[in-house]
Amino acid sequence: MAADVTGILHRTNLLRSCRPRPWRQVAAAYRLRTFRRGQVVFSTGDPGDTLVVVISGRVKVVVRSVDGGELTLTIIQAGGVFGELSVADSGPRSSDTETLDECDLLFIPRETIRDICARVPSAALALTSSIAVTLRRLTEVASDLVFLDLPPRLAKVLLNHPRGGDDMIRLKLSQEELAHQVGGTRQSVNAALRGFETRGWIEVHDRARNGQAGRHT
């Protein structure tokens, strides 16, 4: 598994630029866990004692209100990392994290990452850059929620998803999951999608199957 971990870490934005590469130290400390779809990885307020690398599947980062409202802050794809903020400030988790698929996740102790950053300046710079990217994205999300109507917010979410080899975007998200990303309701998202479909911007398939839709944009 050590060889596989080396390949995985080499593909992450956070550690692939490190010189020298700290693979041996990471490989000696990591924990690998498999999660079912819909399983909670951690909750707001939990100890922030690890950096997490997504090996396979997708993970959503969400905040929830006391009355059950939910806003998805981001979706982490395979190769992505999360938990950088707690590594930097030793604070607790600031959001909930839940799997969207069956996932393999790699947990690296906070102290291992901090030790690497202390010895390898490029790792410290990568950690700082990763936190800055998160801050910029959250600033944009907050701005969009205040200044954009739902259809433009939804369009931005759709266009920010990865494209396939044919330059098409194919989503595996329900309308409810999309609603959590744009701060709307399933009904309002459905109406916006119908408007996009009428204009020929997207194709919606399997609309009736549990609200799940494959969309080509």
Residue ranges of the chain assigned to CATH 2.60.120.10: 2-146
Give the separation between CA 80 and CA 53, rounded to whole angstroms. Answer: 6
Considering the segment(s) 149-216 as one domain, its CATH architecture is Orthogonal Bundle (1.10)
pLDDT category, 17, cuts 50, 70, 90? low
* pLDDT of 8 higher than 60: yes
User: Helices (H) and strands (E) in the chain — how many of each?
Assistant: 8, 11
Residue ranges of the chain assigned to CATH 1.10.10.10: 149-216
* pLDDT of 211 higher than 50: no
Give the separation between CA 41 and CA 27, rounded to whole angstroms. Answer: 21
Torsion of CA 165, 169, 170, 173, to 10 degrees: 140
Q: How far is CA 48 from CA 85, 87, 177, in A?
A: 8, 7, 26
To the nearest whole percent, how much of the chain has pLDDT over 90? 49
Q: Minimal CA–CA distance to 173: which of 152, 204, 196?
A: 204
Which pTM does this prediction carry? 0.81
Give the separation between CA 132 and CA 102, rounded to whole angstroms. Answer: 29
* pLDDT of 121 higher than 70: yes
Fold of the CATH domain 2-146: Jelly Rolls (2.60.120)
User: Taken in order 83, 64, 99, 165, is the CA torsion positive or negative?
Assistant: negative
pLDDT reported for residue 22: 62
Reported as a single tens digit per residue, the pLDDT across 66-106 is 888 899 999 998 888 999 999 889 999 999 999 999 999 99
pLDDT reported for residue 173: 85
* pLDDT of 166 higher than 50: yes
Q: Minimal CA–CA distance to 97: which of 54, 154, 139, 133?
A: 54
Count CB-CB contacts under 10 A for residue 113: 26
For range 130-145, the mean pLDDT: 91
Q: Minimal CA–CA distance to 99: which of 54, 68, 165, 129?
A: 54
* pLDDT of 7 higher than 60: yes
Q: Write down the mean pLDDT value for the chain.
A: 85
Question: Helical H runs in 148-204?
Answer: 150-159, 175-182, 186-198
Q: Out of 29-43, 112-126, 149-163, 191-205, which region has the weakest mean confidence (pLDDT)?
A: 112-126
Give the separation between CA 82 and CA 58, rounded to whole angstroms. Answer: 12
Structure tokens at 217: 């944009």
